[in-house]
Amino acid sequence: MLKAVIIVLVLALLASLGSGFYYLMKDQGDKSKRGTVHSLGIRVALAVSLLAIIIYGVATGQLGHGTPWDAGPQGTAQQGADRD
């Protein structure tokens, strides 16, 4: 569930980035850059919430690394015992 929320937030960040680019190109001659600034504010809020979700996931143990080449702390302790 947490990974799905992260994917949705990343897609929302990309959509906000695209809308910011659209407003930047559309409002080139205008003095008011409300669309660009509004998109930037949304993008910053999405990035902060994404960071908070990732920190929460790592702190609760729901997110972590599952790489087969990194055995983690238990693997290094076992490797040290094998050498003796």
Name the stretches of the chain with pLDDT < 70: 29-33, 71-84
The Cα–Cα gap between 1 and 11 comes to 16
- Reported pTM: 0.69
The Cα–Cα gap between 49 and 56 comes to 10
Contact by Cβ (8 Å): 13, 46: yes
State CA 28 to chain mean position distance: 30
Question: ∠ CA(25), CA(50), CA(69), 5° rounding?
Answer: 115
Tokens 């080449």 belong to which residue?
A: 69
3-state secondary structure at position 73: helix
pLDDT given for residue 80 in this prediction = 53
Number of helices and strands (H, E) in the chain?
A: 3, 0
Q: What is the pLDDT of residues 13-28, one digit of tens each?
A: 999 999 888 888 887 7
pLDDT given for residue 78 in this prediction = 53
